[in-house]
Amino acid sequence: MKRGTVAAALGAALVTGAMAWANVCPMCLQAIPDTEKYCVRHKAEQIAKVNAAAEEKKLMAELVQARKDYLARLEKLRVFYSDRGNADCLRRVQKEAADFGRIEPFSPALWETQLPDLSAVENSAEANQLLAEGNELRGGSNPFTRSSRYAAAAAKYRQVLENHPKSTATSSAAWGLGEIYSSSSYKEYARAVRFYDMCYVINPETEHDALYRAAQVTESELHDYETAARYYWLAAKMGRNPLVREHAATRLRGLQKNGFGAAFSLETRGTDPVTPGNVEVPATEKK
Ligand SMILES: [Zn+2]
């Protein structure tokens, strides 16, 4: 039975696969050549994101260097007045140095904007270990230690993404971060949605209901109903769990009744409202 299904799927892939349009863009479900990860529009968006992160990194490095130079010059001036016994100027220079020490230097709080390109292609024992440790910390049941466990778990997941960006553990690490940031310990909802999105984009066949959670948080916490509709639409089409797909479709229809997500049709094939594609709705969804 399973074998037959696989054979049938392969047959279908062969029929439509003459041009090797085997992939779909994870953001809009448009069919794309199997050499690509995104459609043209979303590829451009991804490149812009990577370029912006590189530019931010460069500007931050310049700022950090400028702070160091500034302190070094202040120190030279301090020595100058100290050598000459100019107590008045010495005091004022020292005050400036002390004032500078009290400022909170800006740094980008969102480390995830600086991540390397993520993909789930390598099996890394070290990354799997970090993921397992993160999951264990996050899954603990003692509510009194929750905040500290979540912080420790987030650090483990972060190590997976930063140090093992090509490992198969990345998608689940992103999921774990979504769960942590959307929890009542953090309430960083926009951030949580970015991690749910990341979980799905790294691995569109993820076992986690990442799209559905992204939709829920976007709807109920961020009140961005148009974006929520897009996530429900993706979840209804791509979710692994049939029950969750059904819930997503129901929620999408609810939003549509209120005037949101009108372009996200579940019935037609083709789908992406902005860049129409030619993806067929899987037969299992027709039920
Ligand atoms: Zn796309």
Which domain CATH number covers 154? 1.25.40.10
Å from CA of 258 to ligand 1 middle: 26
Phi/psi of residue 122, nearest 5 degrees: -115, 140
User: Do 33 and 163 belong together in one domain?
Assistant: no
Q: Is 23 in a helix, a strand, or coil? A: strand
Mean pLDDT value of segment 81-92: 96
Mean pLDDT value of segment 99-115: 81
Q: Is 31 in a helix, a strand, or coil? A: strand
User: Do 174 and 100 belong together in one domain?
Assistant: no
Å from CA of 235 to ligand 1 middle: 15
User: Do 42 and 73 belong together in one domain?
Assistant: yes
Q: 111 pLDDT band (50/70/90 cuts)?
A: confident
Å from CA of 64 to ligand 1 middle: 37
**C-alpha span between 175 and 217 (Å, rounded):** 13
pLDDT > 90: percent of the chain: 66
**Per-residue pLDDT for 22 more than 90?**
no
Å from CA of 36 to ligand 1 middle: 11
Å from CA of 129 to ligand 1 middle: 33
Domain count, the chain: 2
Q: Looking at residue 283, what is its pLDDT?
A: 39
Q: Is 24 in a helix, a strand, or coil? A: strand
Q: How long is the chain? A: 287
Q: Looking at residue 20, what is its pLDDT?
A: 65
Q: Looking at residue 266, what is its pLDDT?
A: 84
92 CB-near residues (< 8 Å, 6+ apart): none
Burial, 263: exposed, middle or buried (Cβ in 10 Å; 0-12, 13-18, 19+)? middle
User: Do 245 and 216 belong together in one domain?
Assistant: yes
Mean pLDDT value of segment 114-134: 93
Å from CA of 196 to ligand 1 middle: 17
Helix axes 125-139, 170-181, angle to 10 degrees: 20
User: Do 70 and 142 belong together in one domain?
Assistant: no
User: Do 95 and 200 belong together in one domain?
Assistant: no
Q: How far is CA 119 from the centre of its chain?
A: 12
- Residue 208: domain span: 110-281
User: Do 100 and 129 belong together in one domain?
Assistant: no
Å from CA of 165 to ligand 1 middle: 22
Q: Looking at residue 279, what is its pLDDT?
A: 40
Q: Report whether 248 contacts 235 (CB < 8 A).
A: yes
Q: Looking at residue 1, what is its pLDDT?
A: 38
- The per-residue pLDDT for range 145-185, each reduced to its tens digit, is 999 999 999 999 999 999 999 999 999 999 999 999 999 99
**Per-residue pLDDT for 207 more than 50?**
yes
- All residues with CB under 5 Å from ion ligand 1: 25, 27-28, 39, 42
Tokens of 184: 């009542």
Mean pLDDT value of segment 96-120: 84
**C-alpha span between 177 and 137 (Å, rounded):** 12
The rounded mean pLDDT for the chain is 86
Phi/psi of residue 94, nearest 5 degrees: -65, -35
> Where is mean pLDDT largest: 99-113, 197-211, 266-280?
197-211
Å from CA of 276 to ligand 1 middle: 9
Q: pTM of the entire structure?
A: 0.72
Å from CA of 29 to ligand 1 middle: 6
**C-alpha span between 123 and 115 (Å, rounded):** 19
**C-alpha span between 192 and 220 (Å, rounded):** 13
| The domain boundary residue, chosen from 108, 124, 154 | 108
Secondary structure percentages of the chain, helix, strand, coil, to 5: 65, 0, 30
Establish if 13 belongs to a structural domain. no
Å from CA of 274 to ligand 1 middle: 9
Å from CA of 118 to ligand 1 middle: 17
